[in-house]
A and B are shown apart, each in its own frame.
Chain A
Amino acid sequence: MSFDVEVEKRLGEAEIAVAFASGPGLTALFGPSGSGKTSILNMIAGLLTPDRGRIVVGGELLFGNGINLPPERRHAGYVFQDARLFPHLKVRANLLYGARRGEGRIGLDEVVDLFGLDHLLGRWPRTLSGGEAQRVAIGRALLSNPRFLLLDEPLASLDQARADEIMGMIERVRDELKLPILYVSHQRAEVDRLAASVVAIRR
């Protein structure tokens, strides 16, 4: 079982309650915006604490039964919707920020090759286009030696050509690194192309 999640959380007026279990490969969390998909990712990453429930990823209990691992011990490769690169660090330093967690399945050279980042390494994040920033963000997550990936609408701010390009890269990551991936989207086409299983979230 890749993701075994059952959580409840009240956020102001909204009540998030979701339960799903999924197999290997890429699992899509599919639903309209505002349905709490990002909050679910934040709970799995440890950035938001559920009111109750349990979170198991790849057989490891991250939350539940009195356990609440801090984010740094969950080994999540989290790619945020807005990329969230560190503005005071150049691309290379951004990529390597999490790399001290130890050599993972993929190294800097491979990430630079895979995502075509060679000419970006010396740039500041604010000079990157949306697609470039998103590629750096995915690379940064992969280099932190994650045990699973959380992708939050990574194509949301991209035009079709860039989105296709990044989808191709995500497919390669999915097939070659064999990491469990949880992928949030509200685009049917992305979900159909990438996902082995789909979890529908209703508002």
Chain B
Amino acid sequence: MHLTPDDWEVIRLSLKVAIVGVVVTLPIAFALAYVLARGRFPGRILLDAIVHLPLVLPPVVTGWLLLILFGRTGPIGGWLDRAFGFTFMFRWTGAALAAAVMALPLMVRAMRLSIEAVDPRLEGAARSLGASPWRAFRTVTLPLSLPGVWAGLVLGFARSIGEFGATISFVSNIPGQTRTLPIAIYTALQVPDGERIVVRLALVSVALSLGALVASEWLVRRQGGRAHVL
């Protein structure tokens, strides 16, 4: 199979969008997962629901909401534009934002399960041995919840690579900026002789997703964990 320069551009862009989206989301997702797993505060259920919203909303609606919030005239987008001259519109950063928002619930879920599985009494043991709350978190809770972090990264990455609806309604279909793998496949399906492109890009998608799963299993095993990402 021979990939054309156009194919490579799509692949590079997709990887960039997915990796940046997931890496930037990682600390946010972990913080949310921790708060939802351990926190007891009013509004927790509401926060939980908001985080999970992209999972249940039609992606096109999520994209439209992003457009309203982050568009040049939107409350956040308008402010970013005025303050920093920065915009998400029709840029790969917008595609990364859409991917991040769509990946967030999956990442939070995986991490939260894993944090909930950490026995809080182990943190008590660490504290009684002289550890500050921060050291107990860093040396006990965090390492014990790492399988969930890996699982969240893989799920988030796979979700980001596959993101279509929110991206296309938020930042459209711009070659080199927002035309990621699924959008490129969709575009190729619209042209009469696009079948060969579709086959190539579909195979690339399978390879990427499979690679992510295998890599994460390997990472978990290398840590000596018995947990599985899948």
**B124:A71 contact, CB within 8 angstroms:** yes
Check: B127 CB closer than 8 A to any chain A CB: yes
**B121:A84 contact, CB within 8 angstroms:** yes
Known: A86-B140, A87-B144, A88-B144. A72 touches B131 (CB 8 A): yes
A residues less than 8 Å from B128 (CB atoms): 45-47, 71-72, 74, 76, 78, 144
Q: How far is the CA of A84 from the CA of B139 in the complex (A)?
A: 15
- In the complex, how many angstroms separate the beta carbon of A62 from the nearest chain B beta carbon? 12
Check: A140 CB closer than 8 A to any chain B CB: yes
**A80:B125 contact, CB within 8 angstroms:** yes
Q: How far is the CA of A97 from the CA of B132 in the complex (A)?
A: 12
**B130:A101 contact, CB within 8 angstroms:** yes
Check: A193 CB closer than 8 A to any chain B CB: no
Interface residues of A in 127-183 (CB under 8 A from B): 140-141, 144-145
**B130:A78 contact, CB within 8 angstroms:** no
B residues less than 8 Å from A80 (CB atoms): 121, 125
- In the complex, how many angstroms separate the beta carbon of B134 from the nearest chain A beta carbon? 10
Interface residues of B in 41-77 (CB under 8 A from A): none
A residues less than 8 Å from B125 (CB atoms): 78, 80, 84, 86
CB nearest neighbor in B for A140: B129
**A47:B124 contact, CB within 8 angstroms:** yes
Known: A84-B121, A86-B140, A87-B144. A97 touches B129 (CB 8 A): yes
**B129:A47 contact, CB within 8 angstroms:** no
Q: How far is the CA of A72 from the CA of B133 in the complex (A)?
A: 9
**A70:B127 contact, CB within 8 angstroms:** yes
Check: A98 CB closer than 8 A to any chain B CB: yes
B residues less than 8 Å from A144 (CB atoms): 128-130
Q: How far is the CA of A101 from the CA of B121 in the complex (A)?
A: 21
Q: How far is the CA of A102 from the CA of B133 in the complex (A)?
A: 19
B residues less than 8 Å from A97 (CB atoms): 126, 129, 131, 139
**B130:A72 contact, CB within 8 angstroms:** yes
Q: Mark B135-177, 1 if CB is under 8 A from A, else 0.
A: 0000110011000000000000000000000000000000000
Check: A188 CB closer than 8 A to any chain B CB: no
Q: How far is the CA of A100 from the CA of B129 in the complex (A)?
A: 9
**A88:B127 contact, CB within 8 angstroms:** no
Q: How far is the CA of A47 from the CA of B133 in the complex (A)?
A: 12
**B130:A100 contact, CB within 8 angstroms:** yes
- Within the complex, which residue of A72, A87, A141 is in contact with B132, where a contact is CB–CB below 8 Å? A72
Q: How far is the CA of A140 from the CA of B122 in the complex (A)?
A: 13
B residues less than 8 Å from A98 (CB atoms): 129-131
- In the complex, how many angstroms separate the beta carbon of B124 from the nearest chain A beta carbon? 5
B residues less than 8 Å from A75 (CB atoms): 130
Q: Mark A65-79, 1 if CB is under 8 A from B, else 0.
A: 000001110111010
B residues less than 8 Å from A100 (CB atoms): 130
CB nearest neighbor in B for A100: B130
B residues less than 8 Å from A42 (CB atoms): 124
CB nearest neighbor in A for B135: A72
**A86:B122 contact, CB within 8 angstroms:** yes
Q: How far is the CA of A73 from the CA of B132 in the complex (A)?
A: 9
Q: How far is the CA of A45 from the CA of B121 in the complex (A)?
A: 13
25 contacts between A and B (CB under 8 A): A45-B128, A47-B127, A47-B128, A70-B127, A71-B124, A72-B130, A76-B128, A78-B125, A78-B128, A78-B129, A80-B121, A86-B122, A86-B125, A86-B126, A87-B144, A88-B144, A97-B129, A97-B131, A97-B139, A100-B130, A101-B129, A124-B224, A141-B129, A144-B128, A144-B130
12 additional A-B pairs beyond A88-B143, A140-B129, beta carbons within 8 Å, are A45-B124, A47-B128, A70-B127, A72-B128, A72-B129, A72-B130, A74-B128, A75-B130, A84-B125, A87-B122, A87-B144, A97-B129
Chain B positions near chain A (C-beta within 8 angstroms): 121-122, 124-133, 139-140, 143-144, 224
4 closest A-B pairs (Cβ-Cβ)?
A: A98-B129, A71-B127, A101-B130, A78-B128
